[in-house]
Amino acid sequence: MQEDRNVESKRGISPAALLVAGAFFMEFIDGTVIATALPDMAKSFGVQAVDLNIGISAYLITLAVLIPASGWIADRFGARKIFTLALAIFTLASVLCGLSTTLESFLAMRILQGMGGALMVPVGRLAVLRTTPKHQLITAIATLTWPALVAPIIGPPLGGFITSYANWRWIFFINVPLGLLAIALALRFIPTIRDDDRRPFDLAGFIATAIAMVSLVYAMELLGAQHPEGGLTIALLALGVGTFAFSLRHFRRADYPMIRLDALQVPTFRVTMYGGSLFRASISAVPFLLPLMFQVGFGMNAFQAGSLVLAVFVGNLTIKPATTPLIRWLGFKKLLLINGALNVLALLACALLTPTTPVWLILLILYLGGVFRSIQFTGISTLAFADVPSAQMSYANTLFSTATQLAVGLGISLGAIGIRIGANVSEWLGINAVPGISFRLAFVAIALICLIGMVDTLRLAKDAGSAVSVRQ
């Protein structure tokens, strides 16, 4: 069996890599596909559309909480067993999401779905690394990155199409045949591999990190709610900050920490973690804000909104081939500052959109926004690991992945908070009758956060990341 896999992998991408990429696609698409369906889902549950952002946040935060822990689970119990279990959990949760009748039951099933998704990530990557020959490794890893680009392109219009011409519940039911097929293929192609080094599980670090993440995100959710509970919000913020501080102290002192922080001593990695996290959080609000603004603010249907949002992700995708030459031409510092400023302007341009704005102009603004967003994402992600020593690369990757996932989850909450603030400000200014004004003001707030995130970039050395940016 193993020999067959090796032969197959020599001819091209291994079946394991293709299967894992497919699983990643399911995971990524479920993070974005419901954005255009939120208004219809809200009607089914008897709540406001903005209140359903917790359905996106719960899924993404579950991923952030469990990804580091699932790495340990994969090492302990083996790749095939855990990857198959992850697919089964994800598929079952998808069915239960589609059958949900209340916001509470939907939220619980999204958390279960996130548990399955979190188990896929480290296990799938481990399987690909162990079954792919060295000369195919770059191609295999590239294969695993494409779902993150393609899924957001397909997600919003697919969600809009299903919602407009069928029912939002089919967004989740469509995962069932895909999940069952993936389970069958996993049993065939994913090898039984595990780590012989049985390191102890960092229970204290896991619990503290989980409490910190959930508390902070829930507090952000409450701040974005229509009637925020002041006492509970303050208590959750205090709990989140306290457990987060404890987690950092614990990770520095523990013999076998769940997340190692050594890489934070590298200046380029540290900048991409701090300022880069602000950028990722703010930008992650865009796929949440745009469909709501087009539907709730401008009166479009779900499919129209999803089709327009497609322009953002087309921009993401089309600029990818040019990103590396741009980095080598300008260097990291200059690129991140120039492109960061253009990204802020693109967000401010979204705040100027109205129901009467020509479609071609909306598409152009969103496309350019996608271009600048993609360049910034790629630049930050590449710079993060440019100067990290090989010995720390694995731990740095875990820390970066967890922080990225948390930032994405917080970004959704930032979007909801921006809408609430926009509604209050527009009412105070007496302009609340302007179509979509609360959403447009939310874009202004997001742009300001992006601008603050750029401050860290100023601290970079002129030749930061030159080890990977200079021409060989």
Helix (H, G, I), strand (E, B), or coil: what is residue 353? coil
pLDDT at 88: 93
Contacts of 174 (CB under 8 A, 6+ apart): 162
For residue 83, what pLDDT band results from cuts at 50, 70 and 90? Answer: confident
- Superfamily for 262-472? MFS general substrate transporter like domains (1.20.1250.20)
Q: What are phi and psi of 284, to 5 degrees?
A: -65, -15
DSSP 460: S
pTM of the predicted structure, to 2 decimals: 0.73
In CATH, the architecture of 1-201 is: Up-down Bundle (1.20)
Equal CATH topology for 1-201 and 262-472:
yes
For residue 198, what pLDDT band results from cuts at 50, 70 and 90? Answer: confident
Q: Give CA–CA dist 197/195, Å, rounded.
A: 5
Residue 180 half-sphere exposure toward CB, CA atoms < 13 A? 5
Residue 107 has pLDDT above 80, yes or no: yes
Q: Give CA–CA dist 31/33, Å, rounded.
A: 6
143-187 residue pLDDT tens: 666 676 567 667 767 777 787 777 888 888 888 888 888 888 888
Residue 468 has pLDDT above 60, yes or no: no
- Exposed, middle or buried, 110 (CB in 10 Å: 0-12/13-18/19+)? buried
For residue 469, what pLDDT band results from cuts at 50, 70 and 90? Answer: low
Q: Which two tokens stand for residue 447?
A: 């742009």
DSSP 294: I
Q: Give CA–CA dist 399/247, Å, rounded.
A: 13
Are 94 and 113 in contact by the 8 Å Cβ rule? The answer is: yes
Are 212 and 247 in contact by the 8 Å Cβ rule? The answer is: yes
Q: Please report which residue ranges of 331-456 form alpha helices under DSSP H.
A: 332-350, 359-386, 393-429, 437-453
pLDDT at 357: 87
Helices (H) and strands (E) in the chain, counts: 20, 0
Nearest to 466 by CA among 383, 400, 378: 383
Average confidence score pLDDT of the chain? 79
Residue 306 has pLDDT above 80, yes or no: no
- Taking residues 110-126, report their average pLDDT: 79
Nearest to 82 by CA among 179, 190, 178, 203: 190
Q: Which two tokens stand for residue 275?
A: 């300022």
Are 411 and 280 in contact by the 8 Å Cβ rule? The answer is: yes
Q: Go through 396-420 and write b for each residue having 16 or more CB atoms within 10 A of its CB, e for each that does not.
A: bbbbbbbbbbbbbbbbbbbbbbbbb
pLDDT at 366: 92
Sign of CA dihedral 159, 111, 95, 22: positive
Domain ranges of the chain: 1-201, 202-257, 262-472
